[in-house]
């Protein structure tokens, strides 16, 4: 299929498809006599994999392990499993970090709301910063 048809079916721009080709994510294709690229139907599958992987946070370099080998058209199963497992571990680490950040923000909100009667905003900020220093200092000593 021509690049325009591939772009329409994949939802990607022709320039994006050419970029993926230049990066080696999809196989380089021969040009017809009129200069048009002619892509095999399997490239559409690769483009869908690229889109899904990018949505999951894979870099272009990481994507190379997810795609079928350009020469054989076969998936590199071990590399695929390794890359997917590593990405799951990265996501879990990010989730843990986000949960910790959320807990800190919720605690800060609660500290702002429970300002002692008559305490100024500036004094409350100092009080909250002192609590943060104590909490951070105690977690480092644990």
pLDDT at 125: 83
DSSP 68-112: PPTTT----HHHHHHHHHHHHHHHHHHHHHHHHHHHHHHHHHHHH
Q: Domain coordinates of the chain in residue numbers?
A: 1-60, 76-142
Using the predicted structure, report yes or no on whether residue 50 has a pLDDT greater than 50: yes
Bridge partners of 37?
A: 31
The alpha-helical segments, DSSP class H, found in 11-56 are: 14-22, 42-55
Q: Pick the residue with more confidence: 83 or 17?
A: 17
Q: What fold characterizes domain 1-60?
A: Multidrug-efflux Transporter Regulator; Chain: A; Domain 2 (1.10.1660)
Range 57-81 average pLDDT: 80
CA distances from 81 to 87, 106, 119 (A): 10, 37, 57
Range 18-35 average pLDDT: 87
């Amino acid at each position: 299929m021509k690049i325009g048809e591939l772009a329409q079916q994949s939802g990607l721009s022709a320039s994006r498809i050419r970029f993926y080709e230049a990066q080696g994510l999809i196989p380089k294709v021969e040009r017809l006599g009129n200069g048009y690229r002619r892509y095999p139907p399997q490239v559409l599958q690769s483009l869908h994999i690229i889109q899904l992987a990018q949505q999951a946070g894979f870099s272009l370099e990481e994507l190379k392990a997810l795609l079928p080998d350009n020469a054989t058209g076969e998936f590199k199963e071990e590399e695929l499993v390794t890359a997917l497992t590593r990405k799951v571990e990265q996501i879990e680490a990010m989730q843990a970090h986000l949960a910790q950040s959320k807990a800190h923000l919720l605690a800060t909100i609660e500290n702002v709301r429970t300002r002692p009667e008559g305490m100024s905003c500036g004094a409350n900020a100092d009080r909250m910063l002192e609590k943060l220093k104590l909490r951070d200092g105690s977690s480092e000593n644990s």
